Amino acid sequence: MGDVHDLRAGYRGADEVAVGPTGGAEDAGGPADAVPGPPSVSGEVTPVPAPAPVPKQRKRRRGSARFAGLAEEEDVVVPPVAEPVAPAPAASARRTPRGARFAGAAERAERPSEPQREPLDAAARRETVEVVERLVRLRGDGRSGEAHALLVELAYWPAARIPLLAAELQRAGLTADWTTLLWEAASLPADRLVEAADALAAVGRTADGEQILRQGVARPAAEIGQSVLGLVAEGRRREARALLDAYVRVRTPEEAARSVGPDPQALVPLLLDAARTVSEERRWDLVHALRVAGFTA
């Protein structure tokens, strides 16, 4: 063993050498490029190639503070951590929808419900069928005057029967008489006019209801204003809104401005709201017309 220390001192200087189990020499600090072999006859140590070092497995480094200190250890399989799921917020009893998709939803929620179809009893249905059969006979006999008078009478029937009249007239081939009936209904008082339009809309005949309103707002501007005030006084704001909506669509801004004469303070805001439903441009045209007429918009 002393010989080995002498050889070590001459070959590696102060480096420490350990004797391996096979009789070779190995650096205590780790594997070296070459280790000294057995001494030769001349007293020199012949270096022999060391076996190729086995590459170390690259260790995964954890970048977060959670894995501090594990950089030099073997890879550890860390089970995935499930993200905590926040409990769903309790639904509010009266939650207001927000966002562009629900624009105007809060305002619509405050409005009265849409018109509903009124049920008809068997007697009303039978009477409607009988009056249409009578009209068919009048047309067949060429008695046009009496047929027209009957249509005027039918225009003043309860609003719930108007859609049934439309169906029966068209079934009998009297489409022209239905058009005449719509024209006659346009002269109804404002409240009944809106009721007839509502009844038609409730059964899907929206175009017919709009036609009645368009024809009905051809009456004088002052009469429109009075009709709207009457509907509002009765608490029928939806009907008043429907009448004004048709009015601002059909009449010019100048004509619409003349309808606020009976009560500008009450009618101007209602009229501007109706014009806004058409377009912002129509609203500004009405604002200008009101100012020209001397009303403050």
139 within domain boundaries: no
50 within domain boundaries: no
| Dist. CA 214–CA 245, nearest whole Å | 10
Q: What is the mean pLDDT of residues 15-27?
A: 44
pLDDT of residue 55: 53
Tokens of 280: 């912002």
231 within domain boundaries: yes
| pLDDT bracket for residue 10 (50, 70, 90) | very low
Task: Give me the domain span that covers residue 275.
Answer: 217-297
41 within domain boundaries: no
12 within domain boundaries: no
The angle formed by the CA atoms of residues 214, 218 and 222, to the nearest 5 degrees, is: 125
| pLDDT bracket for residue 106 (50, 70, 90) | very low
257 within domain boundaries: yes
Q: Which residues contact 129 (CB under 8 A, 6 or more apart)?
A: 168
49 within domain boundaries: no
What is the count of structural domains for the chain? 1
273 within domain boundaries: yes
Q: Tens digits of per-residue pLDDT, 193-222?
A: 999 999 999 999 999 999 999 999 999 999
Q: Tens digits of per-residue pLDDT, 217-260?
A: 999 999 999 999 999 999 999 889 999 999 999 999 999 999 99
